[in-house]
């Protein structure tokens, strides 16, 4: 075939080389053009970032401070939208027989604990050898006010019912502490 073509077109050899070079140049141009125009998919999406929620945070310096601490210290484990461990890594954690990082949003169970327990978890961390990414202690990193700000920020992900349930739980816990003379700050 090539011999036949060479017979018809005496310069087929050169033509072929020229064609190869053009294709190579085209491919290089195309791939660099593609990498310039395509926008990479965001790694993290916060499903609860509604305009109303954002407006609420922007209007409240307490929530803004909570968001800063959360995004800086907690989000890489618990998810920027409180959704828990990054989905792409869950399979690996489970295949190792280890536990994933829980969600803080409405799908998680953070709202099922009173503030006193949540504060303790944040201060002392949770040392569970079965956790793939164990919860570190934040005592000395976050003060009491900053922990409350983070909790207020986390609460934004809960439903109205979950917030009310958790408020009652916290009140009940405080009543029991008072009854037994336990100081919540100790």
Closest approach of ligand HEC to the CB of residue 146, in Å: 9
User: Cβ atoms within 10 A of the Cβ of 13, count?
Assistant: 12
> Distance from first CA to last CA of the chain, Å, rounded?
90
Lookup: tokens for 141: 């990193």
**Per-position DSSP letters for 144-164, written without gaps between them:** HHHHHHHHHHHHTTS-HHHHH
Least separation in angstroms between CB 126 and ligand HEC: 4
The CB-of-169 to ligand HEC minimum distance in angstroms stands at 12
Q: Which is nearer to ligand HEC, 25 or 72 (CB)?
A: 72
Residue placing its CB nearer to ligand HEC in the complex, 123 or 174: 123
Which residues are near ligand HEC by CB under 6 A?
A: 73-74, 77-78, 101-102, 109-110, 113, 118, 121-122, 126, 128, 131, 133-136, 138, 150
Closer CB to ligand HEC, 81 or 102, in the complex: 102
Q: Using the 8-state DSSP alphabet, how is residue 111 labeled?
A: G
CB of 150 closer than 8 Å to CB of 158:
no
12 vs 102 by CB, closer to ligand HEC: 102
Q: How far is the CB of 106 from ligand HEC (least distance, A)?
A: 12
Whether 114 contacts 136, CB under 8 Å: no
Query: From CA 70, how far away is CA 123, in angstroms rounded?
Result: 14
């Amino acid at each position: 075939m090539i011999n036949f073509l060479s017979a018809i077109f005496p310069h087929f050899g050169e033509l072929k080389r020229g064609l190869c070079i053009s294709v190579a140049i085209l491919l290089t141009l195309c791939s660099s053009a593609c990498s310039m125009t395509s926008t990479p998919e965001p790694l993290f999406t916060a499903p609860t970032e509604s305009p109303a929620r954002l407006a609420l945070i922007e209007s409240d310096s307490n929530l803004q401070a909570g968001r800063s601490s959360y995004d800086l210290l907690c989000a890489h484990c618990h998810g920027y939208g409180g959704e828990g461990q990054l989905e792409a890594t869950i399979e690996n954690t489970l295949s190792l027989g280890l536990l994933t990082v829980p969600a803080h949003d409405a799908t998680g169970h953070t709202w099922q604990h009173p503030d006193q327990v949540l504060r303790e978890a944040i201060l002392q961390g949770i040392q569970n050898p079965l956790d793939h990414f164990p919860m570190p202690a934040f005592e000395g990193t976050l003060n009491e006010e900053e922990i409350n700000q983070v909790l207020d920020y986390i609460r934004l992900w809960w439903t109205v019912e979950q917030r009310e349930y958790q408020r009652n739980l916290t009140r009940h816990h405080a009543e029991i502490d008072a009854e037994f003379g336990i100081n919540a700050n100790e």
